[in-house]
């Protein structure tokens, strides 16, 4: 019997939404499942993207064999360029998933040509001691797969993101039979999506959206603008089909919408009726009742196509009175203000904006609800269970769903934090320490523009308490002041006694300079720090605020 241990190490995606990445290690071999990014919350000022900290993988770089992708959503593939800039290994995924990865890679200048290897559902590959079979699942994006990873100690099933859609629009059913076969043969560990563990029942089928969309197309007498996630190929197909049925032509607006539509069409996953597409520049010249527009920007992103249309700042499209705008997507928590502001702008222009919960729905989730999670648990019947993908409350709710399986061979459920190590050997499973994990903040989309924690802290200070710039002109020969110090303040409020406060600050700077010896006066670094420290004490004492203080010394 082997003495080597099997380890499952979540490096992101637990206790948070997004940034899904998991390392699976056996002996001297590591495979990485998914490599996603996360969009920043409001506290990460000026940060565009958040990537996982790859310290553990970089420290064990010689052991990393491959990245295996479950599907093409940004929270599962967004960090692949960042990963490949650090660690050069092959990346496996379905053709559509890899096409989306290629699109992201175009924005980066990697030293080596990436090795992207296409796979299909029901196909199995060998990577070191691991044998990986790809199992088709239904989700809000096409070509999504679960993974059956056979290791020397047993089988690990990783569901990726899924819902059990009984009537998918492309008629590609969730491959429950293969999942059940593995369950019969015995599964060591199940890693399963927990996103909707707080939603009872079943998630509605993608086909449930059609009745509401049909109603929109049948009753709208003017332009129809539909905004959905650009990865929702089924939703895009529905709009194209209904436009053809109701005699409308379709313009596709927004970089991501155009790009993903082209990729899906090239891979035979999107059927575009002949002559239906309309150039954006021709939209306003066509009769309003003959136009439908697919536009990206459902979350109110400031520079997205829909946000620019909402404020009449798009070069080709505008919203007029009587137009119908459909937001066929969920409101991601944290984006409410931006989305409702955008809806307000379009409502002011007289548009009928449809959003939120309706029956029939405008949008259905891509994640399984409680009953679907139970179905997967009952089919797989794992020896050990670890909920993944979700915040801690969702992980714990999912763990409770598995309690009834204790009579069917489930030995233990592990609710893990990012960085925890779940270790297996022939004796069983246990938590075994932690590895280094964290967030890497990226500015302006480039993997070279990593934002340090100190920079984010300074930005937070600036946003809360502003900045104070003491400007001092000193004679380089004598070390004496050439003129009284200037105090420039931005975003910092002194209250009613502003002039008196400024005068006291100037006097303090003069006092600090006069109290310094000749050696200190000739070392600008020392002087700046002394002025900063004295001024900080004074401002905190007077105002209880902590602005960023940056002394500027001019040599005259």
What is the DSSP code string of 285-332? Answer: GS-GGGEEEEE--TT--TTSHHHHHHTT--SS----TT-EEEE-S---
Q: Are residues 103 and 170 in the same domain?
A: yes
Q: Are residues 385 and 466 in the same domain?
A: no
CATH number of the domain residue 475 falls in: 3.10.20.580
CATH number of the domain residue 446 falls in: 3.60.15.10
Q: Are residues 225 and 325 in the same domain?
A: yes
| Residue 29: CB atoms within 10 Å | 17
Q: Are residues 216 and 257 in the same domain?
A: yes
Q: Are residues 431 and 491 in the same domain?
A: no
Burial class (CB in 10 A: 0-12, 13-18, 19+), 81: buried
Contact assessment for residue 115 and residue 91, using Cβ atoms and an 8 Å cutoff: yes
Q: Are residues 417 and 316 in the same domain?
A: no
CA distance 414 to 395: 10
Q: Are residues 107 and 90 in the same domain?
A: yes
CA distance 204 to 227: 20
Is residue 359 one of the residues assigned to a domain? no
Q: Are residues 238 and 329 in the same domain?
A: yes
Tokens of 396: 């714990």
Q: Are residues 50 and 123 in the same domain?
A: yes
Residue 389 annotated in active site: no
Q: Which of 53, 161, 175, 193 is catalytic?
A: 193
Is residue 413 one of the residues assigned to a domain? yes
Is residue 132 one of the residues assigned to a domain? yes
Per-residue pLDDT of the chain (556 residues; tens, 9 = 90+): 457 899 999 999 998 888 999 999 999 999 999 999 987 665 554 556 788 999 999 999 999 999 999 999 999 999 999 999 999 999 999 999 999 999 989 888 888 899 999 999 999 999 999 999 999 999 999 999 999 999 999 999 999 999 999 999 999 999 999 999 999 999 999 999 999 999 999 999 999 999 999 999 999 999 999 999 999 999 999 999 999 999 999 999 999 999 999 999 999 999 999 999 999 999 999 999 999 999 999 998 878 899 999 999 999 999 999 999 999 998 887 788 889 999 999 999 999 999 988 888 999 999 999 999 999 999 999 999 999 999 999 999 999 999 887 767 889 999 999 999 999 999 999 999 999 988 777 765 455 455 555 565 666 666 677 788 888 887 767 767 788 888 888 777 776 677 888 888 888 888 888 888 776 766 777 778 888 888 888 888 888 787 888 888 887 6
Is residue 96 one of the residues assigned to a domain? yes
pTM: 0.82
Point out the domain boundary residue: 398, 424, 450: 450
CA distance 350 to 348: 5
Point out the domain boundary residue: 450, 479, 511: 450
* Structural domain harbouring 500: 452-555
Q: Are residues 497 and 465 in the same domain?
A: yes
Please give the tally of structural domains in the chain: 3
Is residue 1 one of the residues assigned to a domain? no
- The residue written with tokens 């059990």 in the block is 164
* DSSP β-bridge partners for residue 293: 225, 251
Q: Which of 367, 389, 398, 439 is catalytic?
A: 367
Q: For residues 126-138, b (16+ Cβ closer than 10 Å) or e, as one string? A: ebebbebbbbbbb
Residue 344 annotated in active site: no
DSSP 433: E
DSSP calls for 195-261 = TTTTS-S-PPPGGGGHHHHHHHHHH--S-EEEE--TT-HHHHHHHHHHHHHTT-EEEEESHHHHHHH
Q: Are residues 55 and 127 in the same domain?
A: yes
Closest CA to 352 of 323, 318, 331: 323
């Amino acid at each position: 019997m082997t003495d080597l241990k099997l380890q499952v190490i979540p490096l992101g995606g637990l206790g948070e939404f997004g940034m899904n990445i998991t390392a699976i290690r056996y002996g001297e071999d590591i495979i990485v499942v998914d490599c996603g990014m996360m969009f920043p919350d409001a506290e990460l000022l000026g940060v565009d993207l958040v990537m996982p900290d790859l310290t553990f993988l970089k420290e064990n770089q010689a052991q990393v064999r491959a990245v295996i992708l479950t599907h093409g959503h940004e929270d599962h593939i967004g960090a692949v360029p960042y990963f490949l800039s650090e660690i050069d290994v092959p990346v496996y995924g379905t053709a559509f998933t890899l096409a989306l990865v290629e699109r992201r890679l175009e924005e980066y200048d990697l030293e080596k040509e990436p090795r992207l290897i296409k796979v299909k559902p029901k196909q199995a590959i060998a990577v070191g001691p691991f044998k990986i079979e790809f199992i088709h699942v239904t989700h809000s994006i096409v070509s999504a797969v679960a993974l059956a990873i056979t290791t020397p100690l047993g089988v690990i099933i990783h569901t990726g993101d899924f819902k059990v859609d009984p009537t998918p629009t492309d008629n590609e059913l969730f491959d429950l039979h293969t999942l059940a076969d593995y369950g019969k043969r015995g599964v060591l560990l199940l890693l399963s999506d927990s996103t909707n563990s707080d939603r009872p029942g079943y998630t509605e089928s993608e086909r449930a959206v059609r009745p509401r969309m049909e109603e929109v197309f049948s009753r709208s007498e003017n332009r129809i603008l539909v905004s959905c996630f650009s990865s929702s190929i089924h939703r895009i197909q529905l709009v194209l089909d209904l436009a053809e049925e109701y005699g409308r032509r379709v313009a596709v607006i927004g970089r991501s919408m155009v790009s993903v539509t082209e990729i899906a069409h090239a891979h035979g996953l999107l059927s575009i009726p002949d002559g239906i597409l309309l150039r954006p520049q021709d939209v306003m010249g066509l009769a309003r009742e003959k136009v439908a527009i697919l536009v990206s920007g459902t979350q109110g992103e400031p520079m997205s196509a829909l946000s620019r249309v909402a404020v009449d700042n798009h070069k080709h499209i505008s919203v007029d009175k009587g137009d119908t705008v459909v937001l066929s997507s969920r409101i991601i928590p944290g984006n409410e203000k931006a989305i409702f502001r955008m809806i307000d702008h379009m409502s002011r222009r007289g548009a009928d904006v449809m959003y939120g919960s309706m029956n029939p729905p405008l949008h259905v989730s891509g994640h399984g609800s409680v009953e679907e999670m139970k179905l997967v648990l009952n089919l797989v019947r794992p020896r050990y269970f670890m909920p993944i993908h979700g915040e801690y409350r969702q992980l714990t709710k999912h763990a409770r769903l598995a309690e009834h399986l204790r009579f069917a061979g489930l030995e233990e459920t592990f609710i893990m934090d990012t960085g925890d190590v779940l270790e297996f050997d022939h004796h069983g499973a246990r938590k075994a320490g932690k590895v280094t994990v964290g967030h890497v903040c990226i500015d302006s989309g480039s993997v070279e523009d990593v934002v340090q924690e100190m920079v984010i802290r300074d930005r937070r200070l600036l946003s809360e308490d502003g900045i104070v710039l003491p400007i001092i002109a000193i004679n380089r020969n004598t070390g004496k002041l050439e003129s009284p110090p200037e105090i420039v303040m931005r975003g910092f409020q002194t209250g009613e006694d502003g002039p008196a406060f400024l005068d006291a600050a100037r006097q303090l700077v003069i006092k600090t300079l006069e109290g310094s010896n000749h050696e200190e006066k000739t070392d600008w670094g020392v002087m700046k720090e002394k002025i900063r420290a004295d001024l900080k004490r004074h401002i905190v004492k007077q105002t209880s605020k902590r602005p960023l203080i940056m002394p500027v010394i001019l040599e005259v």
